[in-house]
Amino acid sequence: MRPIVRGAVLRVVAPSGPFDPEDFAAGVAFLRERYEVRHRSDVLDRAGYLAGSDERRLDELNEALADPDAAAIVAARGGYGATRLLSDLSLERVRDAAIPLVGFSDITALHALWARASVPSMHGSMVAALGRSSDEARARWVTALEGDGPTLEGLERWVGGVAEGPLLGGNVAVLGSLLGTPHAPPLEGALLLLEDVGERPYRLDRVLTSMAQAGWLDRVAGVVVGELTDCRPGTDGVTAEAVLRERLEGLGVPVVGALPVGHGDRNEALWLGQRHRLDATLGTLENVSASQG
Amino acid sequence: MRPIVRGAVLRVVAPSGPFDPEDFAAGVAFLRERYEVRHRSDVLDRAGYLAGSDERRLDELNEALADPDAAAIVAARGGYGATRLLSDLSLERVRDAAIPLVGFSDITALHALWARASVPSMHGSMVAALGRSSDEARARWVTALEGDGPTLEGLERWVGGVAEGPLLGGNVAVLGSLLGTPHAPPLEGALLLLEDVGERPYRLDRVLTSMAQAGWLDRVAGVVVGELTDCRPGTDGVTAEAVLRERLEGLGVPVVGALPVGHGDRNEALWLGQRHRLDATLGTLENVSASQG
């Protein structure tokens, strides 16, 4: 892996949905203050709800993986579309290139591939959102990208205890779409990150139920729950948090909620695939991968 | 299996979500004109978005399976909740009881269990909806329940050809939630029925993509697509039908659309688990299980 420092080459790709060209331009301009940004001229393509055809998005990602200078690959936006590429992406190519990927939400599907290839990837804001971000949020993103990510404190204890493992996961619905496919993340002993946006609580229940039945939840060392943005109750009043608590509190592993990670106002960047230490009793999550080195 | 005829015992259960008590009473009153209807007094229970606790719904279903007089088990309504029961339901009990189940939508999860147990089940309207149905719809439901279901004609040819196999499937999102679990339906050589309500086209794309990646779609002998009710395009304009056509037309098996089955005004009842003959060139679907007997 090439060091991610001032002047490093960042490849920007759009493997999922389309996005606002002005936000994108503003995000690229911000990145160019510090990095050398490369992207294809057709990155703004649209095909329905996709950022261009599967072929275009696949070629673009493979081109980024083949760039010998690239220190990181940064997604332009999520939405939907990354899962469509999984069958045609090469695990070996991701492993050999060893270039970290940055994104979240729909990019969860690619994070799972990076995890399978044992290449770290950063769960964090993407180019179009950076174009609209505060200076403070941008500065924190850069610090996370060039380091280990922040140590989060003040997390809500749902189930106390301490656990260590690689941080994996991301968007609940996207993780659910990996069930039963060859593209599921390697969750054995992992700290599972969960966040979502715009899902009714019963839908989160459905995915968590499937995960439990598929044996995913038995394998994890701990769970860290991020933002559940706009996951509003129906008339029955059952909240998304109540649903997740019910499914997670009986697992016998430490669980925390209220991570400032996901689709909320604050989206702290965390390094997936790297070993973290969760102290659910104290309410802290810390990247401890460096202490192994 | 006991014959389903006038005077037969129908057990009514609520394994999924709650429902309107007046619709339910009207549906039961209709059924009582012809059948002996049995249900527990707590069938109207509510617990959030569920028709009572998992324990209540599980006990109720097991009680119905244990009724030596029951000729069929009819769900009160779908919604969400049947998948939560799957891990605690006994395949052997369903097989030994050999009592057909009636329902659709969320009941798709139970249809999959019935299919695994080789017991036929009817994809059709449920008690609360029957309480609001026209006399004609009710009469067609009774005819289907006591027979083989209608031969459907005038279906839209998406991919021509002829195929035979057991009819299986149901709601796309619920089928998606069975991926990777031990509760998936046995799709090898089957005619796959798909319908849904209120899903954005990209979400249907996501589930179909997962099904393809899990190898489900390679195994089927044909696909029959029912109603895609309120599956409205986003601003991108991509329709649910376009999404399904893209995913299904390349499978190399016959495919039809526009089945009057699902959440639309007309919901023809079909017998899952029974052998059907799909002539996609002519646009017909017929139950041919009797011709094997």
Query: CA of B48: which chain A residue's CA is closest?
Result: A236
If one counts the domains in chain B, the total is 2
A4 within some domain: no
Whether the Cβ atoms of residue A44 and residue A127 lie closer than 8 Å to each other: no
pLDDT digits (tens, 9 = 90+) for A119-175: 999 999 999 999 999 999 999 999 999 999 999 999 999 999 999 999 999 999 999
The amino acid present at B24, given as its one-letter code, is F
Give the residue numbers of A annotated as catalytic, written as ranges.
105, 195, 263
Contact with chain B for residue A182, Cβ under 8 A: yes
B136 in the same domain as B173: no
B230 within some domain: yes
CA of A244, closest CA in chain B: separation in Å?
Answer: 14
Touching B: A residues 60-79, CB under 8 Å: 79
A91 in the same domain as A21: yes
Q: % helix / strand / coil in chain A, to the nearest 5?
A: 35, 25, 40
- Closest Cβ–Cβ partner in A86, A180, A234 for B180: A180
What share of chain B in percent tops pLDDT 90? 98
Query: Cβ A179–B237 below 8 Å, yes or no?
Result: no
Contact with chain A for residue B57, Cβ under 8 A: no
A176 in the same domain as A125: no
pLDDT digits (tens, 9 = 90+) for A215-231: 999 999 999 999 999 99
Residues sharing a CB contact under 8 Å with residue B197, sequence separation 6 or more, in sequence order = B105, B171, B227, B228, B229, B230, B231, B262, B263
B129 in the same domain as B20: yes
Range of the domain at A18: 9-145
B120 in the same domain as B180: no
Chain B residue numbers touching A46 (CB-CB < 8 A): 236
- Which one of A19, A108, A177, A200 would you mutate to disrupt binding with B, by most B Cβ within 10 Å of its Cβ? A177
Burial annotation A239-264 (CB, 10 A radius, 16+ → b, else e) = ebbebbbebbeebebbbbbbbebbbb
A58 in the same domain as A125: yes
C-alpha to C-alpha distance for A84 and A57, rounded to whole angstroms: 10
Contact with chain B for residue A49, Cβ under 8 A: yes
Contact with chain B for residue A181, Cβ under 8 A: yes
- Closest Cβ–Cβ partner in B80, B181, B210 for A177: B210
Whether the Cβ atoms of residue A124 and residue A270 lie closer than 8 Å to each other: yes
pLDDT tens per residue, chain B (293 residues)? 899 999 999 999 999 999 999 999 999 999 999 999 999 999 999 999 999 999 999 999 999 999 999 999 999 999 999 999 999 999 999 999 999 999 999 999 999 999 999 999 999 999 999 999 999 999 999 999 999 999 999 999 999 999 999 999 999 999 999 999 999 999 999 999 999 999 999 999 999 999 999 999 999 999 999 999 999 999 999 999 999 999 999 999 999 999 999 999 999 999 999 999 999 999 999 999 987 54
User: What torsion, rounded to 10 degrees, do the Cα atoms A74, A197, A262, A162 define?
Assistant: -130
Query: CA of A234: which chain B residue's CA is closest?
Result: B49
Q: Beta partners for A284?
A: A279
Touching A: B residues 17-46, CB under 8 Å: 18, 46
Contact with chain A for residue B257, Cβ under 8 A: no
Contact with chain A for residue B58, Cβ under 8 A: no
* CATH code of the domain in which A279 resides: 3.50.30.60
C-alpha to C-alpha distance for A28 and B202, rounded to whole angstroms: 27
By residue count, chain B amounts to 293
> In degrees rounded to 5, what are phi and psi of residue B142?
-65, -45
CA of A44, closest CA in chain B: separation in Å?
Answer: 15
- Closest Cβ–Cβ partner in B46, B79, B180 for A210: B180
Q: Is the dihedral of CA B199, B260, B267, B207 positive or negative?
A: negative
Predicted complex ipTM: 0.96
Give the number of other CB atoms < 10 A from CB of residue B212.
18
Residue at which a domain ends, from A118, A145, A172: A145
**Secondary element (H or E) of residue B285:** strand B284-287
B95 within some domain: yes
B141 in the same domain as B13: yes
- Segments in chain B forming alpha helices (H): 21-32, 54-65, 91-97, 108-116, 127-130, 135-145, 172-176, 201-213, 216-219, 240-248
- Which one of B202, B217, B235, B245 would you mutate to disrupt binding with A, by most A Cβ within 10 Å of its Cβ? B202
**SS3 state at B44:** helix
Helix (DSSP H) and strand (DSSP E) numbers for chain A: 10, 13
User: What pLDDT is stored for residue B293 in this prediction?
Assistant: 45
Q: Is the dihedral of CA A237, A239, A245, A246 positive or negative?
A: positive
CA of B48, closest CA in chain A: separation in Å?
Answer: 5
Chain B residue numbers touching A206 (CB-CB < 8 A): 80, 83, 173, 177
A129 in the same domain as A163: no
Query: Cβ A210–B87 below 8 Å, yes or no?
Result: no
B166 in the same domain as B218: yes
B133 in the same domain as B170: no
Query: Cβ A210–B177 below 8 Å, yes or no?
Result: yes
Whether the Cβ atoms of residue A180 and residue A214 lie closer than 8 Å to each other: yes
Residue at which a domain ends, from B96, B126, B145: B145
* CATH code of the domain in which B66 resides: 3.40.50.10740
